[in-house]
Amino acid sequence: MIVQAFALTLRLAVVVSLILLLVSLPLAYWLAFSRWKGKFLAEAAVSLPIVLPPTVLGFYVLVALGPLSPIGRWYQSLTGHGLAFTFTGLVIGSVIYSLPFSVQPMTSAFGSVDRTLMDASAILGASKWRTFWQIVLPLSFPGVLTGFVLSFAHTLGEFGVVLMIGGNIPGATQTVSILIYDQVQTLNYQVANETAGLLLAACIVLLTALYALRRRHGWSVWNWP
Amino acid sequence: MELAVSEVQPGIGQSMLSVRIVKRVAGSARQGFELRADFDALPGTTILFGASGAGKTTILHCIAGLQPPDEGSIRIGDTALFDSALNINTPPNRRHIGYLLQTLALFPHMSVEQNVRYGLASVEPAERERRVSEILESFRIAALGERRPGEISGGERQRVALARALVTRPRALLLDEPLTALDAATKARIVDDLRAWNERFRIPILHVTHDRDEVFALGERMIVLENGHVVSQGLPHDVLHRPELESVAQLAGFENVFDCYVVELHPEQGTMTCRITGSPVELEVPLTRVAAGRELRVGMRAGDIMVATAPPQGLSARNVIAGEILSLEQRDVMVVARVDCGAVFEVDLTPGAVRSLGLAAGARVWLVIKTYSCRVLQ
């Protein structure tokens, strides 16, 4: 039971953080460098999941994915079953929920790259694409890594959204935090304690590794006067 | 840098950089500032000179494509890089212009060699390696190849940035005060490198600088910019020796610039008497076409003023002004004296002169200034 929940949670976190990496890189680039006047609207929208109660977010995602919405109907006609209470539905909800944790560190990292370096790259004949991969990304790597790890860790520990969208189906949608809740509800404190302890340890290891890495990185890359 | 005559690229020397642009600078601090640049830069070095805020960097940014002008055109030879009438605005990465930014903008995460190689991505590999090692050699930075920009000295960084810009064989080169932070010896060596490179490739080089040594060492022509407008252009020697503009006067080494008003005109002698505003000091200066009472500025070089310890007699010089030494300050091999005559003059002296005349702060002296050492500035 614990192993199954951990495997599912890990799979969810990996899939979600990888999707978020792909989504966040262009989104953060746009947020950092676009001169569009209405950019603040997008910034507010991206930050929304931070302040919104997970249950509210989960509720709307559930409705949006359900058979009454165009997305839900389109998915149902494609696959023959709905999105709610499935792993795919969980992934979609988690991507939205963890989006700010991935986008914000990346945006601020991109924004702090010295613009004259990007100018210099363009003057030397590099396209925006090449400038991104060779100048912007390497110089903002710690921020990108932070975004990736935070979205991973945040997905590991999420509860409200999962409960609303996924319910509590072992093997399909029962993540570690749901399992803990479930065990506590049935007064099975022993299992709850073991599971919670494991999750806590995993998060501590992850964050310690991240900050240690950043620190070492800080000394090897950022020695520019 | 070694000159290989056979490598001079035929045809490259014929393209001229033509800039005819208008750019209105928005923003609260400089509302209404309008840059109007209209000049041609022939192959060879053209000095772009002007006080800060005159619009030099904006012009370079427009040429490089980092900022779009509002109107006008920028051409190299027959190629339009920008033309508002034809709706042409080539992006910076396709302009093929070398630009040494003021901050140098070396990529901190790449080695010296990677920095230099960066602009050669479209050159085939064998040729690329040949050019990189050639330029590292000629700028004496080959030994630094593996190091990062943060690990080398200021002068070395300057050379790396220059090599990175030049290795791409740009159609024009823009230099934004590239040598200001360097000591004299390092600067002289880079000036030599630049001059040799210029003789070999003959492309238009626009060089922004405040330094008169650089102007004379490198400048073949000179453009003076004030408030966004070209106010003077020509040979550096001519521009600097007709220093009617105050910005030029400071460059030309007028340590003394005074606000004056005209007291009396002496057309028959070709002179006029001016009084330094707020002081009793009167100066005889060359005649200009102004009316008595008119305010103007008079500049003179600290090195053109003589000092006497007794009232001098039998001199051709018309201006003899009594004063008192406020301070003596050693600068390099020179002593700079500040002399209060009602207005404070700066005077250059040799240490020998200070010793033999027994000059010290508080000493009574007479300053001797020839009429034609006084320049009337606009």
What is the DSSP annotation of B165-188?
Answer: HHTT--SSEEEESTTTTS-HHHHH
Instruction: Enumerate the residues of chain B whose CB falls inside 8 A of the CB of residue A117.
Output: 105, 107-108
pLDDT band at A219 (very low <50, low <70, confident <90, very high): very low
Beta carbons of B108 and A124 less than 8 Å apart: no
pLDDT of amino acid B4: 42
Q: Work out the minimum CA distance from A137 to partner chain B, whole angstroms.
A: 11
Q: Work out the minimum CA distance from B70 to partner chain A, whole angstroms.
A: 18
Using CA atoms, how far apart are residues B117 and B214, in angstroms rounded to an integer? Answer: 28
Out of A176-180, B109-113, B146-150, pick the least confident: A176-180
Here the ipTM equals: 0.79
Average pLDDT over residues B34-40: 89
Beta carbons of B109 and A126 less than 8 Å apart: no
Chain B residue with minimum CA distance to A127: B93
Instruction: Enumerate the residues of chain A whose CB falls inside 8 A of the CB of residue B118.
Output: 121, 124, 126, 134
Q: Is the pLDDT of residue A218 over 60?
A: no
pLDDT of amino acid B253: 66
pLDDT of amino acid B117: 95
Using CA atoms, how far apart are residues A147 and A27, in angstroms rounded to an integer? Answer: 13
**Over the stretch A74-112, which tens digit does the pLDDT of each residue have?**
888 888 777 778 888 889 999 999 999 999 999 999 999
Using CA atoms, how far apart are residues B180 and B176, in angstroms rounded to an integer? Answer: 10
Compare CB distances from A123 to B64, B108, B149 and report the shortest one's residue: B64
Beta carbons of A122 and B92 less than 8 Å apart: yes
- For chain B, which residues lie within 8 Å of any Cβ of chain A, measuring from their own Cβ? 64-66, 91-99, 101, 103, 105-109, 118-119, 121-122, 148-151, 164-165, 168
Out of A191-205, A210-224, B28-42, B361-375, pick the least confident: A210-224
Compare CB distances from A125 to B101, B107, B119 and report the shortest one's residue: B119
pLDDT of amino acid B242: 63
Strands of B131-255, DSSP E = 173-176, 204-208, 221-226, 229-234
Instruction: Enumerate the residues of chain A whose CB falls inside 8 A of the CB of residue B122.
Output: 125
State the best of A35, A117, A124 to mutate against chain B, taking most chain B CBs within 10 Å. A124
Beta-carbon contacts below 8 Å between A and B: 70
Q: Is the pLDDT of residue B248 over 50?
A: yes
Mean pLDDT of chain A: 87
Chain A residue with minimum CA distance to B172: A123
Compare CB distances from B93 to A125, A222, A224 and report the shortest one's residue: A125
Q: Is the pLDDT of residue B206 over 70?
A: yes
- Taking phi first (over 0 means left), then psi (-120 to 50 degrees means alpha), and beta for anything else, what does residue B185 get? alpha
CATH, domain B254-377, list 3.30.70.360, 1.10.10.10, 3.30.2320.50, 2.40.50.100: 2.40.50.100
Phi first, then psi, for residue B234 (nearest 5°) are 155, -160
pLDDT of amino acid A224: 34
pLDDT of amino acid B28: 46
**Over the stretch A38-55, which tens digit does the pLDDT of each residue have?**
888 998 999 898 888 988
Q: Which of A117-131, B207-221, B281-295 has the highest mean pLDDT?
A: A117-131
Q: Is the pLDDT of residue B243 over 50?
A: yes
Mean pLDDT of chain B: 85
B78 Cβ contact list (under 8 Å, min separation 6):
B15
Q: Does the domain formed by B5-97+170-250 have CATH 3.40.50.300?
A: yes
Beta carbons of A138 and B118 less than 8 Å apart: no
Q: Which domains does chain A have, with CATH numbers?
A: 2-35+42-220 (1.10.3720.10)
**Over the stretch B4-21, which tens digit does the pLDDT of each residue have?**
433 444 444 468 999 999
Q: Give the count of beta carbons closer than 10 Å to the beta carbon of residue B9.
A: 11
CA dihedral A43, A46, A52, A54 (to 10 degrees): -170
Q: Work out the minimum CA distance from A141 to partner chain B, whole angstroms.
A: 11
Compare CB distances from B150 to A114, A126, A225 and report the shortest one's residue: A225
Using CA atoms, how far apart are residues A30 and A48, in angstroms rounded to an integer? Answer: 18
Phi first, then psi, for residue B22 (nearest 5°) are -120, 130
Q: Work out the minimum CA distance from A100 to partner chain B, whole angstroms.
A: 28
Chain A residue with minimum CA distance to B165: A124
Beta carbons of A123 and B94 less than 8 Å apart: no
Beta carbons of B150 and A116 less than 8 Å apart: no
Q: Closest Cα to residue A178, out of A197, A194, A190, A161? A: A161
**Over the stretch B228-241, which tens digit does the pLDDT of each residue have?**
888 888 887 777 66
**Token pair in block for residue B68:** 């779009």
In 3-state terms, what secondary structure has residue B17?
strand
B38: β partners: B20
Compare CB distances from B168 to A116, A125, A223 and report the shortest one's residue: A125
How many residues does the structure list for chain A?
225
Instruction: Enumerate the residues of chain A whose CB falls inside 8 A of the CB of residue B96.
Output: 125
pLDDT of amino acid A166: 81
**Over the stretch B311-327, which tens digit does the pLDDT of each residue have?**
888 888 889 999 999 98
Q: Closest Cα to residue B235, out of B248, B216, B253, B254? A: B216
Beta carbons of A225 and B66 less than 8 Å apart: no
Beta carbons of A125 and B98 less than 8 Å apart: no
Beta carbons of B105 and A134 less than 8 Å apart: no
pLDDT of amino acid A169: 81
pLDDT band at B245 (very low <50, low <70, confident <90, very high): low
Chain A residue with minimum CA distance to B122: A125
Q: Closest Cα to residue B80, out of B8, B130, B18, B125? A: B18
The percentage of chain A sitting over the pLDDT mark of 70, rounded to a whole number, equals: 96
pLDDT of amino acid A89: 87
Q: Is the pLDDT of residue B145 over 50?
A: yes
Amino acid identity for residue A225 in this structure = P
- Boundaries of every domain in chain B: 5-97+170-250, 254-377
Phi first, then psi, for residue B347 (nearest 5°) are -130, 135
Cα of B100 vs its chain's centroid, Å: 16
Compare CB distances from B93 to A116, A127, A224 and report the shortest one's residue: A127
Instruction: Enumerate the residues of chain A whose CB falls inside 8 A of the CB of residue B100.
Output: none
Beta carbons of A122 and B101 less than 8 Å apart: no
